[in-house]
Structures are given as C-alpha cells and as structure tokens.
Structure 1
Amino acid sequence: MNAPAERRARERRGHWAERMAAIALMTRGYRILARREKTPLGEIDLIVVRGKRVAFVEVKRRATRESAEASVTAAQRARVRKAASLWLARNSGYQSYRIGFDIVFCIGLRWPQHLEDAL
C-alpha cells in the first residue's frame, strides 16, 4: 500500500477508535463536549463531562494493551495538559469542575478500556 493510502487507512482506524471510545464513555454516563479538539498547543481526542468532572481523554488503538501503554509518551501527556489548560481558559464554565486526564485503549475488537486519571 502506498504512503497516502496507508495514512488514510490509519486515520480511518483512529476515527473508528475515537467513535468507539465515545460510545463506551456515553454508556458510563459521560456527555461528549468535543471530539478532536484542536488548539494551538495540540489536539485533544475527546473532552467529556460527567457530574462535576470534566475529563480530557487520549484514545489509543493498538493490537495489544502493552503496545497501547507504551505508545503514551511523556510528550503526549504534556501536550494534552497544555491544550486542556487552554481549553479551560476558553471555557470558563468548567473551571470549577474536577479535572481528569483519562486514557481509553481500543485493543482489537474488544470493548474499549477506560482508565481514569491515567494520563
């Protein structure tokens, strides 16, 4: 497969994983505030809220749990936190909420695994 086609295929799989993660979170009572939120400081895959907790979620689709865990880098954690700070500054209604940095792993065709405060 050529490079552009492979890139499009990866993007489709990534979007599928984000949709599955959103569905899994909604079944747990979360409301989706934003998907693929782009800021000058980076992109946040999902922003969700449940009760008085707003969470910034990184979604990882990999073949194994080990490879998914290994794919979450310190640079990604920092990027999401910086982007979240900017988002909160622009959305002041959520500044009093408890803030979470979560991860959702999409491993194969299994139900997504949500880890609160793991990012």
Structure 2
Amino acid sequence: MGRRGEWLAAWFLRFKGWRVLARRVKNARGEVDLIARRGKVVAFVEVKWRQRTERLDNAIDAYRLRRVAAAAEVLMHSYARKGDIVRIDVLLLAPGRFPRHITNAFQP
C-alpha cells in the first residue's frame, strides 16, 4: 500500500500547488518518499498510509524523522537553490479521510 499512498500524496500536493520533483529517493543515510517544490520552499516529504485512522497518530516517530532529515541533508544540494527554504513535511493518509499535511515536522 506504500506506493499507492505515495501516489495519492503526490496528487494531493499537486492539488495544493506543489511540483513533485522526485519520488522514493534513497541514499546511504535514508530514504525520502517525495521531494516537492512550491515557490521558494523545497519539502522532503515522509508519507504514511494506514488502513485505520486511529493508527495515524503513531505512524511517525522521532527516529523516522531523523532518518528522513539525514537523507534530506545529503539530497538538498541537488534540489534546493540558494535562498530556498528547506523543510521536512509529513503526509498522513487513511481511507475515507482527507490527508493531513504536517509542515516543518522536524525540528533538530
């Protein structure tokens, strides 16, 4: 279900005016599900899909956010330009529920 969740998340971001730059980018430090840009903001997005809405509250933890941030640190030079704002976002998805977009989810 992970790829379907990422596909839905990409469409949701496009609907909100984002341009998806890359999907499922891996490196030695971790993986980023989606990389998206809107204006001067580049977001490295972790996508979580759960079958039950109640399980979304526990879908993301500090360990996972640190891994996404570590991967983003390596990748940001390829996707962000000077003066861009770079952040880690989370998109939580479940059937029958509007996606929840958590902006700037990682604070080191």
| TM surpasses 0.5 | yes
Match of 1:99 among 69, 74, 86: 86
Map 1:1-119 onto structure 2 (within 5 A).
Answer: 13-89=1-77, 91=78, 93-119=80-106
Q: TM-score under structure 2 normalisation?
A: 0.88
Give the secondary-structure state (helix, strand or coil) at the position aligned to 2:92. Answer: strand
User: What is the distance in 2 between the residues matched to 1:70 and 1:92?
Assistant: 29
CA root-mean-square deviation = 1.6
Q: TM-score under structure 1 normalisation?
A: 0.80
Larger radius of gyration: 1
Higher helix share: 1
Identity, in percent, stands at: 37
CA distances 1:6-53 after superposition (whole Å, capped 9, x unpaired): xxxxxxx11000000000000000000110011111110000000000
User: What is the distance in 2 between the residues matched to 1:42 and 1:74?
Assistant: 14
Q: Which runs of 5+ in 2 are unaligned?
A: none
User: What is the distance in 1 between the residues matched to 2:52 and 2:13?
Assistant: 20
Q: Which runs of 5+ in 1 are unaligned?
A: 1-12
Q: Is the 8 A contact 1:54 1:94 kept in 2?
A: no
